[in-house]
């Protein structure tokens, strides 16, 4: 987004000050929170420690201590405002370790929405979900069912910022980020959500069941009971090509479902 446009949007939202990653910020500085979130100390993005890997325990504590972004706070934001808010969000510890928040890609309204677990290193560098080999395989999977992120599929993740070391996003981090995802789902208004991989499935559906027990069924998500199906993450399929046959079965079901709802 154009910087001046983003700044104007943030001013309209009452956000007049925010942290630019890697700029020096005096310790203890309070930042204006996106959309009325309670203030808390900003990450010291300019310090050497700010670039060091965080321990999971510390990140978990921060995730618990920080307020979640509520559905109410995001109720009246536009798509652009939502993206600007995500770009500046510090609602969980992942804000300390990201380079770029990864909002999502695809049309704002789409019949299909694909949700992975979180950005990896390439995604964090580019600010775009599913790039690299896994992204290419995802694009091929979508193409096989007549879908693409440039046309009719919105692609995002459960958490918008990269967990350090590509670890799984914590439950607390997914919950801190859930209101953004819920608002995205409201905007995109998909006929079907496809969750990719065990972690996305578990965080989306708030369950600990393994993917093997979750695949092959239609679940429901959110207040609109949007149908959800689950399949393998393309990165897993690259590591375990023998599972591609099962993923193909899932894709055929997804195709049939979309056709039946046209
Ligand atoms: Fe905010 Fe989500 Fe990023 Fe956490 S992962 S800082 S809640 S945008």
Convert the pLDDT of each residue in 5-38 to its tens digit: 655 655 555 444 443 333 333 332 223 333 323 3
CA distance 91 to 65: 9
Which residue, judged by its Cα, is nearest atom 3 of ligand 1?
Answer: 161
Residues 6 or more apart from 256 whose CB is under 8 A from it?
A: none
Tokens of 261: 């709802």
The pLDDT value recorded for residue 205 is 97
pTM: 0.76
- Residues 71 and 182: beta-carbon distance below 8 Å: yes
The pLDDT value recorded for residue 43 is 33
> E strands, 63-138, where?
112-116
Residue 183 beta carbon below 6 angstroms from any ligand 1 atom: no
CA distance 156 to 152: 13
The torsion region of residue 16 among left (phi > 0), alpha (psi -120 to 50) and beta comes to alpha
Residues 6 or more apart from 240 whose CB is under 8 A from it?
A: 232
The pLDDT value recorded for residue 262 is 76
Which residue, judged by its Cα, is nearest atom 2 of ligand 1?
Answer: 177
Tokens of 85: 């808010």
Residues 6 or more apart from 27 whose CB is under 8 A from it?
A: 41, 44
* Residue indicated by tokens 């395989």: 137
Residue 37 beta carbon below 6 angstroms from any ligand 1 atom: no
Any idea of the CA torsion for 211, 216, 222, 223, to the nearest 10 degrees? -160
The pLDDT value recorded for residue 69 is 67
Convert the pLDDT of each residue in 41-72 to its tens digit: 333 322 333 334 445 555 555 544 555 567 77
Under DSSP, the state recorded for 245 is: H
Q: How far is CA 117 from CA 33, 53, 202, 244, in A?
A: 25, 20, 9, 19
Probe target for ligand 1 pocket from 91, 100, 180, with the most ligand atoms within 8 Å of CB: 91
The pLDDT value recorded for residue 35 is 32
Phi, psi (degrees; rounded to nearest 5) at 86? -60, -40
Q: Label residue 191 exposed, middle or buried (CB < 10 Å: 0-12, 13-18, 19+).
A: middle
Residue 101 beta carbon below 6 angstroms from any ligand 1 atom: yes
Give the number of the atom of ligand 1 that is nearest the alpha carbon of residue 118: 5
CA distance 196 to 210: 13
Probe target for ligand 1 pocket from 89, 117, 183, 184, with the most ligand atoms within 8 Å of CB: 89
The pLDDT value recorded for residue 261 is 81
Q: Of all helices (H) and strands (E), which one includes residue 225?
A: none
Tokens of 42: 């900003």
Residues of the chain where predicted confidence (pLDDT) is lower than 70: 1-69
Probe target for ligand 1 pocket from 43, 173, 182, 203, with the most ligand atoms within 8 Å of CB: 173
Residue 177 beta carbon below 6 angstroms from any ligand 1 atom: yes
3-state secondary structure of 101: coil
3-state secondary structure of 195: strand
């Amino acid at each position: 987004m154009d910087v001046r446009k983003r700044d104007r949007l943030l001013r309209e939202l009452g956000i007049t000050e925010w942290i630019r990653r890697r700029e020096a910020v005096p310790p203890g500085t309070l930042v204006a929170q996106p959309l009325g979130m309670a203030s808390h100390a900003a990450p010291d993005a300019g310090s050497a420690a700010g670039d060091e890997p965080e321990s999971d325990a510390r990140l978990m504590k921060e995730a618990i201590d920080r307020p979640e972004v509520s559905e109410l706070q995001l109720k009246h934001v536009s798509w652009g405002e939502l993206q600007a808010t995500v770009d500046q969000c510090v609602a969980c510890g992942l804000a300390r370790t990201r380079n770029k928040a990864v909002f999502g890609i695809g049309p704002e309204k789409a019949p299909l929405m694909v949700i992975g677990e979180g950005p990896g290193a390439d995604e964090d560098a580019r600010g775009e979900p599913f790039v690299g080999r896994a992204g290419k395989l995802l694009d091929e999977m979508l193409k096989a069912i007549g879908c693409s992120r440039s046309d009719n599929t919105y692609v995002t993740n459960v958490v918008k910022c990269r967990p350090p070391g590509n670890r799984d996003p914590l439950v607390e981090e997914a919950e801190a980020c859930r209101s953004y995802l819920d608002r995205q789902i409201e905007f995109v208004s998909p006929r079907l959500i496809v969750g990719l991989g065990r972690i996305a499935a578990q965080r989306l559906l708030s369950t600990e069941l393994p993917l093997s027990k979750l695949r092959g069924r239609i679940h429901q998500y959110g207040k609109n009971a949007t149908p959800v199906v689950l399949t393998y993450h393309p990165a897993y399929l690259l590591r375990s090509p023998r599972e591609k046959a099962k993923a193909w079965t899932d894709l055929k079901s997804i195709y049939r479902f979309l056709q039946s709802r046209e």
